[in-house]
Amino acid sequence: MRFCDLIIKKRNGLKLSEKEIDYVIKEFDEGEIPDYQMSAMLMSIYFQGMDINEIKYLTMAMVNSGKIIDLSSIPGIKVDKHSTGGVGDTTTLALAPMVAAAGVPVAKMSGRGLGHTGGTIDKLESIKGFKTELSLNKFIDIVKKVGASIISPTSDLAPADKKLYALRDVTGTIESIPLIVGSIMSKKLAAGADAIVLDVTTGSGAFMQEYKDALKLGKIMVDIGLELGKETVAVVSNMDEPLGFAIGNSLEVKEAIDILENRGPKDLRNLCLVLGAHMLKLGGAAKNYEEGRSRLEKILKEGTAFNKFKEMIAAQGGNTKVVDKPELLPSAKYCTKIKADINGYIQKIDSRLIGESAMLLGAGREKKESEIDLSVGIILKRKVGNKVKINEDLAEVYYNDSEKLKEAKNKLFSSFVIGDKKPKKLPLILATISQEGVKEWE
């Protein structure tokens, strides 16, 4: 089998067989195929696409490139959750204790932030002492005892995907739907969960900025999950403005604590309830979505999830005092405010520009090796549809470096669009995709 022949085959729009795709992934992972040839294959896939069988073969080839985690010793149905990324997306921090408090075990591996999107692991490391790098045995033991644990992925989890993603990042092929599906689903399947709930974001702060692309991605991921024996549900959510008010690691931990105290921003709370209700249904803790949501609302009201978060932090070596006293979390030295320069209504808040502003302050990574500042970030004071007057606050900026502030401040100000008329706001949940089909917003 010649790799060049397979490039030509895919370039010409023909389908690759399971054997051919296994060969491509195995040889590339073992260093037998040079980057320039694999780049040509990635670009061929980008332009010609893949059918459902090819995506399935690609996903499983990447799963089988490493270790598949065995979670069978944990009682109950293990449900994983994944978001395609966004700005202010703090759902995992609140969701894990909420769902665990309802009796569904959450054994979750999460990533670090890169670019304008935040990473769950970075946020958790804002909590002093919190360990995100644990052995698999310790990870499983915590889930058995507490019901939830969140750690960074082990190096042998779908290693072919790591190599492939690094190449996609520098060859303009990140947005390829088959490659996105293969990347996400291979890691979810290798992580060992029994069922998967996906949050597919769309809008200015998401990788899939067009709704139709996000819907297509969600459908294919659900189909692949079902094809490979995992009950899978996808929610398409609106990331045209940041989720919640906080953008930045320690600031988002504070906001997650607000949610667990049955307070916090309505949009973030609502998304946690939506995703969590589906997780409870798939995990057998609720007969249907409505029952799952009602149960989670009760859990938040009673403070059970709040206490579960403390248990999880303690089990992973973190300081539980931050839950009762969020002021113990890292805090920036300085704060400045961004103010409106005209009267009107907030027409738009560009999520990507907000995320990039936070990154410039030091809250995110421009490159994988970049160091981040856990204390800096942005608190929005207005959301789309809100009325604002001249000199009223649009956002608060928390910073430690005045040089970094200059560029971030200009970008942040330009992310707000103010106009005369109150805009029609899109709903937060745009569609739900499951085995039963697609339910779109009206």
Whether 311 and 404 share a structural domain: no
- Residue 343 forms part of a structural domain: yes
The pTM is what? 0.94
Whether 206 and 240 share a structural domain: yes
- Residue 73 forms part of a structural domain: no
Whether 177 and 205 share a structural domain: yes
Whether 104 and 242 share a structural domain: yes
pLDDT for 115 equals 58
Whether 91 and 137 share a structural domain: yes
- Residue 38 forms part of a structural domain: yes
Domain with residue 377: its CATH number is: 3.90.1170.30
- Residue 268 forms part of a structural domain: yes
- Residue 69 forms part of a structural domain: no
Q: Which residues of the chain have pLDDT under 70?
A: 113-118, 366-369, 442
pLDDT for 204 equals 85
Whether 100 and 184 share a structural domain: yes
Q: Which of 81, 108, 187, 411 is catalytic?
A: 187
Domain with residue 215: its CATH number is: 3.40.1030.10
- Residue 72 forms part of a structural domain: no
**116 catalytically annotated:** no
Whether 221 and 129 share a structural domain: yes
Domain count, the chain: 3
Domain that holds residue 174: 79-325+429-440
CB atoms near residue 71 (< 10 Å): 20
Q: Last residue of a domain, which of 63, 88, 107?
A: 63
**293 catalytically annotated:** no
Whether 274 and 192 share a structural domain: yes
Q: Which of 29, 80, 89, 161 is catalytic?
A: 161
pLDDT for 391 equals 96
pLDDT for 205 equals 80
pLDDT for 155 equals 79
Domain with residue 27: its CATH number is: 1.20.970.10
- Which pair of structure tokens corresponds to residue 410? 């200009």
Q: Which of 126, 183, 351, 357 is catalytic?
A: 183
Q: Which of 56, 78, 82, 278 is catalytic?
A: 82
Whether 159 and 298 share a structural domain: yes
**183 catalytically annotated:** yes
Whether 51 and 85 share a structural domain: no
Digit-coded pLDDT (tens) for 214-233: 999 999 999 999 999 999 99
CB 88 within 8 A of CB 243: yes
Whether 111 and 168 share a structural domain: yes
**187 catalytically annotated:** yes
Whether 219 and 118 share a structural domain: yes
pLDDT for 292 equals 98
